[in-house]
Structure 1
């Protein structure tokens, strides 16, 4: 139990193998969360079908699947989770120039920066949708640029935090691999 607790602590990483494990664990967890979020659009359309809102255009137009507000976060969680898992595999597989060299502070926090970004964006997507819908009724489906901009900007901030974390990890992996290749 103590090893599992240490693996999840922020900044507790001391080796590239541990850091890679963190990226893989969190990445796969976020991928599964994205997979589960993928059922939201299906439920959205089942609800529409039960309510009788199916018209000729609905049955013929596959682009209406993009009409569900959960699709953006579904894809962000899936691709973000897979990106973290790949970075984790790079930490575990690619050799480091100096295996005894400690992991830098920012680099060791990179997995949690990524997690905070993606989870924050997902929470904002849900809560922000409800709040924006209270302020601008039916903002997502009606022509309301302000509501959509507010809602999408909040998600963009979370995704930007994720990219910030990935940037530090990617920079470290490529730097360490380049120094061993030469």
Structure 2
């Protein structure tokens, strides 16, 4: 007969995986394609401002693009607190839920020059993975994190996302030359 306390312990065991390259499922989520199908996904971008306060910006797939296995392009509004905090520290953390696991990725962030015909007013940033981990437990699967549903002008938002991600793709391609 097995020890019930050990079975209970293994059922609660935290599975933690560290990585320095985007797992395939996350890369597919952030590949800039099929944005309408991925609408509702939200990632929290965490920064620390000059006063030591943690700030959170909620980002969609229309503001994130992973051009390769180790980087993440981010589009932010210039007046966002996160933009100012990143300019000061060069660091941010991105957290989100994907495929029943919680992800937290520490990023080193630098400016990413925009594209010549980009009139969006957005600030583009290039993050590289510093450290990252995914956590899950066997007894419970995360079914979502912070999610949203587009309302009203949803089609206009999707069009804007398509354009933003296209700018991120072009800026990422230009920076790798």
TM-score under structure 2 length normalisation: 0.26
Bigger Cα Rg = 1
More strand by share: 2
Which protein has the bigger helix share? 1
